[in-house]
Amino acid sequence: MKLINGKNVAKSVLEKVKERTLKYEKKPGLAVILANNDEASKIYVNSKEKISNSLGFKSSIYRFDKTVTQGKIISLIHELNENPEVNAILVQLPLYKHLDQQQIIELIDPKKDVDGFHPINVGRLNCGLKPYAVCCTPKGIIKLLKAYKIKISGQSVLVIGRSNIVGKPLSALLTLEDATVTLAHSKTKNLKSLTKNADIIISATGHPKLITADMITKGTVVIDVGITRQLTGELVGDVDFEKIKDIAGYITPVPGGVGPMTIASLMENTLELFEQQNKRQE
Ligand code: GUN
């Protein structure tokens, strides 16, 4: 078994981002909107703020309690779209249930859409055109596979979970890398026959121990995107790590696998949007 160390790869991505940022007099601006009560989101957002500050970015976090209205978020998005100091806008998902998530995503200027969630960016990605930004977790996973020189082209890759945040954009990116992609989900029949035949399995469901040892063929690459907090406080992925680690060719731990790569990609995307916007002004 070879352990994939996401923390190390993320660190080297962040070092390069920091170095590139130093070249500029102006600094990239990242605005984050947090409008939910989810503990995991709060942890993510705090960590995004800490890391963006450590890179010298100007970050602003807008935190809302559950009395926030759709109108209030819409006017904030308009304001951020117009603000030249803000290069990147992130709306942490999920939002409070009473808010219309899709309407909010579609109001973000696609040129400032650091998550690549706007239909313009999703559409460009699926057409094989360059989006302004590529979704952070899928981008981080591809970087992780490449950092470990894991072959993607021609390989059978099984993606489990069809979310707009991970499964769907990841399938598009892997297709662009010439993988043969199967996208499985909660209605998929006989998941085990698919996992047994995959060269690479990427699970993003949030169901602890969905992937068990009997489902894995020796040498398979196993990437775990799931992250669930147990009642004990322990963070676990979708994969039964202890039982699978000696069967898999490569495996990511939770935490310390994909998670740090998501944040590293977010910082890289913020810098890229800043560079694109400065270039347009020249
Ligand atoms: N919630 C879980 N993952 C993400 C992400 O990558 N971006 C945003 N905006 N919200 C999320």
Name the CATH superfamily, with its identifier, for domain 136-259: NAD(P)-binding Rossmann-like Domain (3.40.50.720)
Average pLDDT value for residue range 15-41: 96
Residue 179 tokens read as 């993988």
pLDDT tens column, 70-123 = 999 999 999 999 999 999 999 999 999 999 999 999 999 999 999 999 999 999
Q: Any catalytic annotation for residue 92? A: yes
- Distance from the CA of 92 to the center of ligand 1, in angstroms? 5
Residue 62 tokens read as 């807008």
Angle between helices 6-22 and 258-281 in degrees, nearest 10: 20
Could you tell me the fold of the domain covering 25-109? Rossmann fold (3.40.50)
DSSP E strand stretches across the chain: 2-3, 29-34, 58-63, 88-91, 156-160, 180-184, 200-203, 221-224, 228-229, 235-236, 250-251
Q: Any idea of the CA torsion for 23, 24, 27, 28, to the nearest 10 degrees?
A: -80
pLDDT tens column, 119-166 = 999 999 999 999 999 999 999 999 999 999 999 999 999 999 999 999
Q: Do domains 25-109 and 136-259 have the same CATH topology?
A: yes
Where in the chain are the domains?
A: 25-109, 136-259
Residue 206 tokens read as 């949030």
Atom of ligand 1 nearest to the CA of 266: 6
- Distance from the CA of 216 to the center of ligand 1, in angstroms? 29
HSE at residue 190, side-chain half, CA atoms within 13 A, is: 4
Contact 254, 236 (CB under 8 A): yes
Residues with CB under 6 A from ligand 1: 90-93, 115, 136-137, 165, 262
Beta bridge partners of 200: 157, 221
- Residue 282 pLDDT > 90: no
Whole-model pTM: value is 0.97
Residues belonging to the chain? 282
Q: Any catalytic annotation for residue 155? A: no
